[in-house]
Chains A and B, each alone.
Chain A
Amino acid sequence: DAGITQSPRHKVTETGTPVTLRCHQTENHRYMYWYRQDPGHGLRLIHYSYGVKDTDKGEVSDGYSVSRSKTEDFLLTLESATSSQTSVYFCAISDPRGGVNEQYFGPGTRLTVT
C-alpha cells in the first residue's frame, strides 16, 4: 500500500470555525490532490498540487485553501466551516510518468460541521 496518512480521521466542528486537514505521504510523489466525496457526486476535486508551493484550484474550491511547504505534506483548510462542507475528504497522490495519472488514496477524513 502507498504510504498515505490523513489526520484527523474524524472531526466534528461548529459552523464558522476554521479547520485544517493534513495529508502526509512517504512516497515522494510530485502530485497531491484533495477531493470531497458526497453521495451521488462521486469524488470532486477541491485543489491539487504539482510541487512544493505549486497549487491550483479544482472544480469545488470555494471556501477552501491549501498549502504545500514540503513534498510530503499537503494541508487543506476550511477558512470558515459551513454545514455544506460536511463530507468525507480524501487525499490522493500520483507520479504521472508517461502521462498516466493513476492515483493512490488515503483512508479519508470524515468531517461534520454542526
Chain B
Amino acid sequence: AQSVTQLGSHVSVSEGALVLLRCNYSSSVPPYLFWYVQYPNQGLQLLLKYTSAATLVKGINGFEAEFKKSETSFHLTKPSAHMSDAAEYFCAVSRDTGGFKTIFGAGTRLFVKA
C-alpha cells in the first residue's frame, strides 16, 4: 500500500529565507511523486512531478524537489521565499496501475513573514 507523510502541518519562514517542506512516502514499487499547491479558495495546481527521469526535479515558481530513494523522501525546497508563496502544499504518490489512484499527504500550510 502506498502512503504519504508530510512533516509539519504548518511552516513559517521569513521572506527571502529558504523554504523546506518535508515529504516521505511509502510504496512497494517505484512511485510517481508530485507536489501540488493550493491557494486560498482555489483547486490544487501541479507544482512539479517525479517520473524517474531525474532525481532533482524543477517546478514552477522556483521550487524544486529531490527524490531520495534511500530515505524514501521527496522534500520540496525554494532558495528564497516570496510573500506570494504563502499557500498550502500537498505531496502525493501515484502508481501506473489500479486506476492511477493518487494518495495525498495531509498538507503543509506555508506562512511567509515580511
Residues B44 and A105 in contact, CB atoms below 8 Å apart: yes
- Complex alpha-carbon distance, A4 and B59, angstroms: 22
Residues A100 and B107 in contact, CB atoms below 8 Å apart: no
Decide if B106 is an interface residue (CB 8 Å cutoff): yes
Interface string of B77-114 (1 = CB under 8 A from A): 00000000000001000101001111011110000000
Residues B96 and A42 in contact, CB atoms below 8 Å apart: no
Pick from A11-19, A43-51, A61-69, A78-86 the stretch touching chain B: A43-51
Decide if B70 is an interface residue (CB 8 Å cutoff): no
Choose one: B32, B45, B90; the contact of A99 (CB below 8 Å).
B32
CB distance from A4 to the nearest CB of B (A): 8
Number of contacting residues on A, CB 8 A? 29
Residues B100 and A107 in contact, CB atoms below 8 Å apart: no
Residues A103 and B46 in contact, CB atoms below 8 Å apart: yes
Contacts of A48 in B (CB 8 A): 99, 101
Q: Which residues 6-55 in B have Cβ within 8 Å of A in the complex?
A: 9, 32, 34, 36, 41-46, 49, 51
- Complex alpha-carbon distance, A92 and B46, angstroms: 12
Residues B42 and A103 in contact, CB atoms below 8 Å apart: no
Decide if A101 is an interface residue (CB 8 Å cutoff): yes
Residues A56 and B99 in contact, CB atoms below 8 Å apart: yes
Residues B107 and A42 in contact, CB atoms below 8 Å apart: yes
Which residues of B pack against A, CB within 8 Å? 9, 32, 34, 36, 41-46, 49, 51, 90, 94, 96, 99-102, 104-107
Which residues of A pack against B, CB within 8 Å? 4, 31, 33, 35, 40-45, 48, 50, 56, 58, 90, 92, 94, 96, 98-108
User: Can you offer 22 A-B residue contacts whose CB atoms are under 8 A?
Assistant: A31-B100, A40-B9, A42-B90, A42-B107, A43-B90, A48-B101, A50-B99, A58-B101, A92-B43, A94-B100, A96-B96, A96-B100, A99-B100, A100-B94, A100-B96, A101-B94, A101-B102, A102-B34, A105-B36, A105-B43, A107-B42, A108-B41
Closest 4 CB pairs of A and B: A99-B96, A105-B43, A101-B100, A42-B104
